[in-house]
Amino acid sequence: MPWVIALLVFLPAAAWAQQDAPRLLSDSPEYCAELSGRFAVLEPEAPAHLRLLADEGRQLCVEGQTRSGIAKLRRALKEAQRGE
């Protein structure tokens, strides 16, 4: 009997805690678009393999594999920046 009461107290608290956790936004399609835009700025001077990388990333984003796409775009951006 007592553990039922404990559970009743605990569960809502847990749910509330769940709700409260901040969410990382950098895994969304919107962010994909942002990164794509950033690369576009650097694209003209960028070497071929990086452009390929960025395109792959864009493609992955469109297909729904946001995380992988973002990762590739980020790599492309990083390499491109380094080249500057």
Partner 1 sequence: MAAPAEEVGGWRDIGAYLKSAGFRFAALFAVLFLAAMAGFALVFWWGTAGTLSRQIDDAIRADAIGLQEAWRGGGANAMKDAIGERLAVDIDDHAIYLLMDEAGYRLAGNLDRWPRAADTPGSWSADTVRRDGIEVPARLHSVPLEQGHRLLVGRDATDREKLRALLSEALLWSFAVAVAFALAGAAALRRALADRLRAASTTAGAIAAGDLSRRVPLSSQRDEFDQLGESMNAMLDRIDQLMVGIKGVSDSIAHDLRTPIARARMRLENALLRAPDEESLRAAMDTTVADLDGISRVFQALLRIAEAEAGARRAAFAPFDLAAVLADAAEVYSALAEERGQHLATQWPETLTMVGDRDMVLQAIANLLDNAVKFTPEGGTIRLSASAPARGKREITVSDEGPGLAAEDRARAGERFFRADPSRALPGSGLGLSLVKAVATLHGGELRLGDAAPGAARPGLEARLILSSRA
Which CB, 51 or 74, lies closer to partner 1?
A: 74
Which residue number, 28 or 62, has a Cβ lying nearer to partner 1? 28
Rounded Cα distance between 30 and 5, Å, is 44
- State whether residue 25 is helix, strand or coil: coil
Residue 65's nearest CA partner among 36, 32, 24 is 32
Interaction site with partner 1 (CB under 8 A):
20-27, 31, 34-35, 38, 67, 70-71, 74-75, 77-78, 81
Q: How far is the CB of 24 from partner 1 (least distance, A)?
A: 5
CB of 4 to partner 1, least distance (A): 26
CB nearer partner 1, residue 51 or residue 75? 75
Structure tokens at 21: 């956790």
